[in-house]
Structure 1
C-alpha cells in the first residue's frame, strides 16, 4: 500500500519536474502489458480470420470439386457417391449413406454409401442400407418433413433416431443429413455419421445446402433425359409403349429364349369399326375411344395373365398350367392408329395366348360411352408363338400380322392363330399381290373379247371385254386367279381403269375401219368393280375416256354387281343417273345370285340385266326354267333388256329364244378371243 504522504508530496511536485525512476518503470511496464494484450488480441483475431478464410477456401474447393463432378455425371448416384467420399475425407465423417425419395413420403436406401473403416461399423451400415424411412421418422424422415440440413450432436440421446441401439453398439456419436433438391422437391437425402463429436456451424450447414443444390441439378438432368427417352418410347395418347420400345423389349426377350425357342407369344390387335367412329364422331372422340380401349386391354391382360381369367378360360382341370402361367410377363403396346400388340414372355402353357385373346374380345364386346354416344367396336386378333423355326422376333411379329389379316378377312371380332399352312397361303397371296403391282407398272394385261349375240338372228351385237394377265413366267393367267386378290388389295381400281380405256380404244378402232350403214355398230361391255364404280372421280374419268377414245357413248355398256348397292346405295343411284346423262348404259350383272337383286332392280335405274350362268346351266329342270321365265317377264314389264350368260348348248339357246330372251353369250356361241380374232367374226 503506497504511503499517502508520499503521494501527496508527489502531487505537489511541479509538472515539468521529472518522475522518479521507479514510477516511470512501473508506468512503462503497464503500458507494455496493455500493448502485449492488444497485440495478442489482434493476433487472435487475425488467426481466427485466417482460419475462417482457410476453412472457407477448403469448403469452396470441396464444393467446386463436387460441382465439377456433378456437371460430368450422367446419373445422380454417380454424383452422390463422389460427393460422399469427398465430404467424408474433407470433414472427417466415418460413414455416408444415401436415400432416394418417392412422392415426398418415404426415403428408400439406394445402396449408395461410403465408409472409411468398415470393420467397426458393419452392423450400422447394414441397418442403414436396408431401412426405409417414412416422412418425419428418423434422420432421413426429418429431412423429408423439413427440407434442410439437420444435425444430431449425439445420436445416443436422440429419441427419434431409429437406429440408436445399433449406433450405440458401433460407437456412433454425431450425425447430419441434408436434402438433394430438384425443382423444389427432395429427390434424395445424404446422411453422414462420425464416431466422435462434430460441431455444427452455419458455414458448414450452408456448404452442405449448396452441395445438395448441385447434386439436384444432376437429378434434374437425369429426369429430363428419362422424360425424353420415355416420350420417344411411349405413345403420347395412351402412355403405352410404342413400336420402338416394344421391338427393343421383344428382341431382348427373344434372345433370352432357350434352344427350343419356345416361350414367347405375340398378339396383334386391330380394332374393328374404329374408322367409322372416327368419321362419325370426330378425331377427338376417336382419341377418347383409344384411351378407353387401352385401359380395357390392360385390365383384360392383367386379369388373364394374373390367373383368374385364365382359370375361367381353361377350366379348373388346367390349374397346374395356370400356376405356371402366372409367371408370364405381358407388355401391351400401341403400334399404330388403331393397332395394339401384346407381347407375352415366359409362356409355359400353349393355351394362354388364346385365353388372353378371348379375354380381350370379351372386354371389347362391351359398348363404350363416348360423351352422349354409345359405340360398339371389336377386334381382329392374330396370334403367333415362337418355335425353333424362328430366327428372330421380327419373324414372329410378321406371322402374327399375317394371322391378324386373316382374322380381319374372316369377319368382325375374330381371332386366328398362325400356322405354317396359313403362312404358305398368305405368302403366296402376298407374292401374287407383289406381282400384280409389277404387272400394272409393266402393262402386262391383255383383253380378250367374247361375242354377245342376238339369239334369234345369230348376229353379233357386241362384245364383253375380259381381262387376262400375260405373266412373264406363268403365261396367260385367267381372271379367277388374280381378280379376287386385286379386289382385296384395291389394285382392281387401277386394273379396271386400264380395262375401260383399252376396251373403248379397241371398239373405236373397230368402228373406224368398217362401214356400218343402217346397222348399229357393235357395243363393248366392260365389268366395273364396286371399288372402281364408287370412286369419287369415276364419272369424270368415264366422261374423259369416252371423249378421248371417240367411242359413241351408246356403244359402251358397264356391268356391275349388286355389291355397288351394298356398299353405298345412294351413291350408286347418283352414279347410274350420271352415266345415263352421258349416254352410257349400265347392266346388273349376275342377276338372281344376290340376296337383294329384286330390291335393287326396283330402286336403282339399271338398263340391262344379265341372267347368271347358274340358272342357264340347269334350265332342263322345271324349277330353274320357271325362274328364268319369271326374270324375262319381269324385265319386259320394267322395260329392261336381257342378256343370258353361260349358254353352253344348242338346247339352252333354243329354250332361251323360245322364252323371249333377246341376247346371250357363252362357249356355245363364242369363246373369248384376242381382239383381232374376235372382231374378225363380224365379217
Structure 2
C-alpha cells in the first residue's frame, strides 16, 4: 500500500526553500570565485609572459648601441609573442619620409615572401600607406581585413600571404618620431589594449637604443669635425690623407694637397673682434664647400678614376684640401683659382663688407714622397711662398722652392739663436746737410742706425740678407725693439759726453731709427717708445722714427694715432723710401710726418730725366708741405752736387760716409773729426 507524502507545515517548507536558495547562491559564488581566480591566474600568466618579453627586449636594448643590431631581435620577440605573421621597421630622419631599414622578421619566410619583397626598400612619404599615416598623425594605426583588401598599397602581396590585419606604431624620442614599427597578422587584431601596452613599451626601449646611437654618432662627429665650420678637422684629415696615400699606384701620382691661408684675417679680428672673425671663417668654409661640391658634381658617375676631395679646417684661418685619384694635375690649379674667385665677393661683418684674399700652396705626390706628411709640409712651404709675395695667389711646390724655403727656415732658426745670444750690433751712417750751391762741405746733422749680424761663422752680415727672413718669421718685432733701445742708449751716451765737453746743444746730432711695419702696428708700440725714451734719457726731439708707406696702407687710422702720440713727446717722424710704394698725397695730407726720404733708386738713376723730374716733384711737394728731405744712396760727387743744386737739404750715402761702428761714427762729431760733404 502506497504511503502518501505528509505535507510540511508552512514554516518548514519556507525553511527548506531558504536552504535551497542558500545552497544555490553558495554554488554560484563558488563558481564565480573559481572564474575570478582562473581569470586572475590567466592575467597573471599573461602579465608574466609580457614582462618576460619586455625584459628580453630591455636586455637587448641595454647591450646594444646599434639600432640595426637591436631591431631584428625586437621584431622577432614581438611577432612570436603576438603570434603575428610579419614585422618590419622604418627609420625616419629629420621629420622626412619613413624609409625601410631592411629589418624584418617572419617565422615563415617562404610563405610570406611576396609581402617581404613588397616591403623591403620601400619609402613611405608622410600620409602614404600605413607607415606614412603613423608618421603623419603621430599615433598607432590599425587596418582590418576590409581596409587591407581595398586600400592598402601592398594589398595584392598581403592577400597572397593570407594576411588579414595590420598595425603600425611610432617610436618616439620626445615629440620626434624616429622610427615606425609595422606588423601583419593572419587573424584579426582584437585585443588592442594589450597590443598597445606591449608594443609601445617595446618601442620605448628601441628609442633608448636610437638615443645612444645618436649620442655616439654626435661624439664621433665632434671628435672628427671642426665645431665652428662643421668641416673635417685635423684628425679626420690625417686619417683620410693617409688612406689616400696608401691607395696610390706604384708611380705615386694622383694625389694633391692644397694648403690655404686667409690674407688679412688678423686685421679683421683686430678691428672687428673675434666674433667677426668667426663669421668670416664660417662663410669662407661655406663658399669653399660649395665650390668643391660643384666641381665634384661635374664628374662622371661610376667612373672609378673620378677624383675625391676632403676640405678641412686645421686651425685658425688655415684650410687644407686633399685631392685624391686625380686624373690630371691641372685640376688642383683650376680648383685653386675657383676658390680664390669664391672669396672675391666681400663678406658682411658688423654691418660692413670686408674683403679677404687667399694664399694657396700646392704639392703633388710622386716617387720622392714616402708619406703624406711630407706632401703636406711641402704644400705648406709653397703657401708661405705665396704669402711672402704680399698679395696672395697660388704657388706650386718645386724642388728649388723647397731648398730655398728650407734655407730660409734654417736662417730663422739661426736668427732666434742670434736674438737669444745677442749677436747683433749697430752701425751708424752719417747724415749731412748738403750746404749751399758751390760749397764742398756740409755739417753733420745726424745718424741712421743700421743693424748688422755678427754671425759666429759668416762674420758681419748685412741686413738685406736676414731682415726679410726676420719679417717672414715674426722675429722683426724683437729685433726692432732691440735696435730702438740700443740706438737711444748710444745716442744718450754721446749727448751726455758732448754736453760735458761744453758743446752747443744745437749741434747735437739726431738718431734716425727704422721701424718695421709689424713692430709699428703692435698695440704696445707707442708705450714701448715712451718707456725707452724715459729709461735711456735721450732727448725725444733728437729721435726720428722712420716708417714706410706700407704701414699707412695696412691701417691708416692707427698709423695717424701712433704718429701723433709720439710727436706729442717731441719725437720726429720720417716717411722712408718715398715714391717706391703706394705713394699717395692723401698720406702726406693726413699723416703727421716731419721728413721725406727719397729712395736710393731715384738717386742711382738721376741721369734719367724721368728720375730727375720725380726728385724735383718730391722736393717741391715737401717744400709746399713744410717737410724736410733726406736723399739716400748718394754714391758720387755728381749726385751730391745735383741734389744740392736742386735744393735738397740733407743726404746720406757711401760718398758722404759709410756706416761705421759706434766709436768710429761718433768720432765724427768732434771738430777734429769733421767729415767732408759733397
TM surpasses 0.5: yes
User: Pairwise mapping of residues 230-629 of structure 1 onto structure 2 (< 5 A)?
Assistant: 230-231=221-222, 233-235=224-226, 238-272=229-263, 293-307=284-298, 327-336=306-315, 339-366=318-345, 377-410=356-389, 414-453=393-432, 456-457=440-441, 462-512=446-496, 516-518=501-503, 520-567=507-554, 572=559, 575-576=562-563, 578-591=565-578, 593=580, 596=583, 606-618=593-605
Alignment-derived partner of residue 437 in structure 2: none
Confirm or deny that 1:110 pairs with 2:101: yes
Alignment-derived partner of residue 172 in structure 2: 181
Q: Distance in 1 between matches of 2:565 and 2:365?
A: 55
Contact 1:589 1:612 in 2 (8 A): yes
Q: Distance in 1 between matches of 2:112 and 2:142?
A: 20
Q: TM-score, normalised by structure 1?
A: 0.79
Q: TM-score, normalised by structure 2?
A: 0.80
Note the aligned Cα RMSD (angstroms): 4.6
Q: Distance in 2 between matches of 1:136 and 1:619?
A: 87
Between stretches 473-482 and 332-341, larger displacement belongs to 332-341
Q: Distance in 2 between matches of 1:36 and 1:576?
A: 115
Q: Distance in 1 between matches of 2:94 and 2:561?
A: 64
How many residue pairs were aligned?
Answer: 661
Q: Deviations over 1:103-133 (max 9, x none)?
A: 5553322132344454554454344333333
Alignment-derived partner of residue 75 in structure 2: 84
Q: Distance in 1 between matches of 2:135 and 2:646?
A: 98
Q: Deviations over 1:295-318 (max 9, x none)?
A: 4444433332222xx9xxxxxxxx
Query: CA 1:156 to 1:255, structure 2 compared with 1: closer, same or farther past 3 Å?
Result: farther
User: Pairwise mapping of residues 131-280 of structure 1 onto structure 2 (< 5 A)?
Assistant: 131-149=122-140, 158-170=149-161, 176-193=167-184, 200=191, 202-231=193-222, 233-235=224-226, 238-272=229-263
Q: Runs of 5+ in structure 1 lacking a partner?
A: 311-320
* Deviation of the 1:60 alpha carbon: 0.9
Q: What SS does the aligned partner of 1:646 have?
A: coil
Contact 2:418 2:424 in 1 (8 A): yes
Q: What SS does the aligned partner of 1:108 have?
A: strand
* Deviation of the 1:352 alpha carbon: 2.4
Q: Deviations over 1:420-439 (max 9, x none)?
A: 43333333333333433343
Between stretches 467-476 and 153-162, larger displacement belongs to 153-162
* Deviation of the 1:213 alpha carbon: 1.6
Query: CA 1:144 to 1:167, structure 2 compared with 1: closer, same or farther past 3 Å?
Result: same
* Deviation of the 1:69 alpha carbon: 2.6
Q: Distance in 1 between matches of 2:189 and 2:624?
A: 113
Contact 1:384 1:397 in 2 (8 A): yes
Contact 2:363 2:396 in 1 (8 A): yes
Q: What SS does the aligned partner of 1:558 have?
A: strand
Contact 2:85 2:185 in 1 (8 A): yes
Q: Deviations over 1:113-156 (max 9, x none)?
A: 34445455445434433333344555434543555555667699
Confirm or deny that 1:50 pairs with 2:41: yes
Q: Distance in 1 between matches of 2:513 and 2:164?
A: 99
Q: Runs of 5+ in structure 2 lacking a partner?
A: 435-439, 674-678
* Deviation of the 1:413 alpha carbon: 7.0
Q: Distance in 2 between matches of 1:558 and 1:474?
A: 30
Q: Distance in 2 between matches of 1:473 and 1:50?
A: 101
Q: Distance in 2 between matches of 1:242 and 1:607?
A: 51
Query: CA 1:587 to 1:369, structure 2 compared with 1: closer, same or farther past 3 Å?
Result: closer
Q: What SS does the aligned partner of 1:509 have?
A: helix
Alignment-derived partner of residue 317 in structure 1: none
* Deviation of the 1:188 alpha carbon: 1.9
* Deviation of the 1:561 alpha carbon: 3.6
Contact 2:305 2:327 in 1 (8 A): no
Between stretches 556-565 and 285-294, larger displacement belongs to 285-294
* Deviation of the 1:88 alpha carbon: 4.2
Q: What SS does the aligned partner of 1:130 have?
A: coil
Alignment-derived partner of residue 59 in structure 1: 50
Alignment-derived partner of residue 11 in structure 1: 7
Query: CA 1:254 to 1:190, structure 2 compared with 1: closer, same or farther past 3 Å?
Result: farther
Contact 1:632 1:660 in 2 (8 A): yes
Q: Distance in 2 between matches of 1:88 and 1:250?
A: 47
* Deviation of the 1:247 alpha carbon: 4.4
Alignment-derived partner of residue 314 in structure 1: none
Contact 1:304 1:359 in 2 (8 A): no
Q: Deviations over 1:374-409 (max 9, x none)?
A: 665554444444444444444444444444444444
Alignment-derived partner of residue 313 in structure 1: none
Q: What SS does the aligned partner of 1:100 have?
A: strand
Query: CA 1:50 to 1:409, structure 2 compared with 1: closer, same or farther past 3 Å?
Result: same
Contact 2:388 2:472 in 1 (8 A): no
Query: CA 1:127 to 1:285, structure 2 compared with 1: closer, same or farther past 3 Å?
Result: same
* Deviation of the 1:467 alpha carbon: 0.4
Q: Distance in 1 between matches of 2:592 and 2:22?
A: 133
* Deviation of the 1:480 alpha carbon: 0.3
Query: CA 1:642 to 1:408, structure 2 compared with 1: closer, same or farther past 3 Å?
Result: closer
Partner of residue 70 from structure 1, selected from 61, 64, 75: 61
Q: Distance in 1 between matches of 2:464 and 2:81?
A: 87
Q: What SS does the aligned partner of 1:596 have?
A: coil
Contact 1:554 1:585 in 2 (8 A): yes
Q: Distance in 1 between matches of 2:577 and 2:450?
A: 15
Q: Deviations over 1:195-219 (max 9, x none)?
A: 6777645324311221112212222
Q: Distance in 2 between matches of 1:222 and 1:125?
A: 27
Q: Distance in 2 between matches of 1:333 and 1:611?
A: 47
Alignment-derived partner of residue 658 in structure 2: 671
Query: CA 1:448 to 1:417, structure 2 compared with 1: closer, same or farther past 3 Å?
Result: same
